[in-house]
A = this chain, B = another copy of it.
Amino acid sequence: MDAGPFPFDVYEDQCPTRMVLDRLADKWALLLMLRLADGPLRFNQLRRDVKGISQKVLSQTLKKLERDGLVTRTVYPTVPVTVEYALTPLAQTLREPVEALTRWAESHMDAVQAAQQAYDAGAAAR
């Protein structure tokens, strides 16, 4: 059995595709990119919008996204200083796949929750 329709074997260590996939498989990164898809936002605005994210994790995640070329960080010398985060054109190409994933989550979460309840009920019986 081969690795499927992909030119690279994503199951190998060191596969660059896998490195990229590791970054995308991040709860906060996905939520932040979805939030920024509607337009640039500032640090504290993101923090208020994406509920539950801490300042530290927000800062770290934005830095990772910036390093990956998915987000730009622009500082305006106002007072207090304004920092605006925006998606890059590269991230725009990622918008459709990510939104497809959220659409799946939306339309299938009933099935997932039902499966969880059935599983938990069975586990209790064991």
Q: Which residues of A contact B (CB under 8 A)?
A: 1, 4, 6-8, 10-13, 16-27, 29-31, 34-35, 37-39, 49-52, 66-70, 90, 93-94, 96-98, 100-106, 108-109, 111-116, 118-120
Contacts and interface: CB of A to CB of B under 8 A. Distances in A.
- Which secondary structure dominates chain A's binding surface? helix
Contact of A69 (B21, B66, B93, B112): B112
A100 B97 contact: yes
Contact of A22 (B27, B50, B118): B27
Contacts of A8: 106
A102 B51 contact: no
Number of copies: 2
Contact of A30 (B7, B19, B21, B50): B21
A93 to B, nearest CB: 7
A116 B69 contact: yes
A37 B73 CA distance: 38
A122 B97 CA distance: 30
Contact of A38 (B1, B12, B24, B39): B1
A11 B49 contact: yes
B69 A119 contact: yes
